Structure 1
Amino acid sequence: MTKILILFAHPALEKSRVQAALLPAIKGMQGVTLHDLYEVYPDLNIDVRHEQSLLLQHDIILFQHPFYWYSAPAMIKQWQDLVLEHGWAYGSTGTALRGKRIGNIITTGGQESSYGKEGWNHHSVEDFLLPFKQTATLCNMQYMPPYIIYGTLRITPSLIQEEVVAYRRMLEELRDGKSLTQ
């Protein structure tokens, strides 16, 4: 069984309907470790050695977060800056993460149609996630296509429940050796 680490970051989870609904669906899920960065580090003082140890124990690392200003919440950037050290994660002697897979699970307020050349944002979500893809390349990891839930500002409760089921199914398939697709 593939071991999955979800690095979850949402600075205002109490205001989220979708992310807040996703988390209970995977509590206790075999092979999946949910690691809430804002909960573990409310003072933003990241324990680098602990985080590196978690990475070594898992095969797949997923950043789960809302899509904030075309990127991730600040905690994820801080985590990357501190944990992915030269000589450990990248560089001539930085091979700790080689061969692992990495990806994003994100929610966007905007509809899928708002992302693309003709959309409101003029770029795809994948374009905005290029720094994550390049980080994977630098660390000799395989970047997986993002799992995206669009339109969270207007999503209905019944559609949220459908997304919860699809999210759990996606993680089960990934854990059981299938690829990250929607």
Structure 2
Amino acid sequence: MNTLVILAHPNMAQSSLNKQVIDELNKQPEQFTIHNLYETYPDEQINIEAEQRLIEEHDSIILQFPIYWYSCPSLLKKWIDETFAFNWAYGPEGHALENKPFALLVTTGADATQYEAPGETIEDILLPFKMTFHYTNADYKGFYTIYGPTTTKEAVESAARFAGRI
């Protein structure tokens, strides 16, 4: 099974945590294709047909991104808005995502205690993704979170194992 990892981090050079996750996934190139949106689209002009083709060519999709202000980075939101097009992802003729496994692999800049208040949990923050996958009839497999600005090797390896199960 080949999994497409949509990497959406606007400043990977300053993110040791996200880099560790991607480095771990890159150890299995036969299983994971890493697609860095900010490298591919520095001008943020998304090639919708190319992105749709990438999704169609892979068995499953993981969106990997840092939590930014209780959401995702802007280019990932734009990518979803444009790539998940009417009559492709949804609508009378939109069946491209039906039963396609999707998962989220997210990182935070804070520890888990910052995401404990009602309405502010990671599950709450990621609800729009879950609803989008539901609306497009994709097979939402859940999320995995790595908390804090730094992490352990075990946490990164655990994230890779999660990704391998999608």
TM-score by length of 2: 0.92
Structure 2 Cα separation of the partners of residues 150 and 85 of structure 1:
32
Whether the 8 Å CA contact 2:67–2:106 is kept in 1: the answer is yes
2:76 aligned partner, one-letter code: I
Deviations 1:132-151 (A, max 9, x none): 01110111112122110012
Gaps of 5+ in 1: 176-182
**What displacement does 1:170 show?**
2.4
Is 1:124 the counterpart of 2:121? The answer is yes
2:48 is matched with which residue?
Answer: 48
| Alignment map for 1:23-34 (pairs within 5 Å) | 23-27=22-26, 29=28, 30-34=30-34
| CA distance in structure 2 between the partners assigned to 1:130 and 1:102 by the alignment | 14
Deviation readout 1:74-130 (Å, 9 max, x if unpaired) = 010110111110011001210111011112110012221221236xxx521111111
Give the secondary-structure state (helix, strand or coil) at the position aligned to 1:146.
strand
d(CA) in 1 for partners of 2:85 and 2:160?
Answer: 32
For residue 4 of structure 2, what is the amino acid of its counterpart? L
Query: Alignment identity in percent?
Result: 36
- State the partner residue of 1:178: none
- Indicate the SS of the match to 2:142: coil
Aligned 8 A contact 1:18 1:160 in 2: no
Using the TM superposition, give the Cα deviation of residue 28 of structure 1 relative to its aligned residue in structure 2, in angstroms: 5.3
Q: Distance in 2 between matches of 1:94 and 1:117?
A: 37
**Any stretches of 5+ residues in structure 2 without a counterpart?**
none
Q: Which amino acid in the other structure matches residue 160 of structure 1?
A: T
Give me the CA root mean square deviation.
Answer: 1.5
In 2, distance between residues paired with 1:98 and 1:169? 24
Structure possessing the higher radius of gyration over alpha carbons: 1
CA deviation profile, 1:48-76 (whole Å, cap 9, x unmatched):
11100111111221110000011110010
Q: For 1:38 and 1:83, how far apart are their aligned partners in 2?
A: 15
2:92 maps to 1:95:
no
Q: Which runs of 4+ in 1 moved over 6 A?
A: none
- Tell me the distance in 1 between the aligned counterparts of 2:115 and 2:163: 25
TM-score norm. by structure 1 comes to 0.84
Contact 1:103/1:144, CA 8 A, preserved across alignment: yes
User: In 2, are the aligned partners of 1:21 and 1:160 still within 8 Å (CA)?
Assistant: no
Letter in 1 for 2:106: I
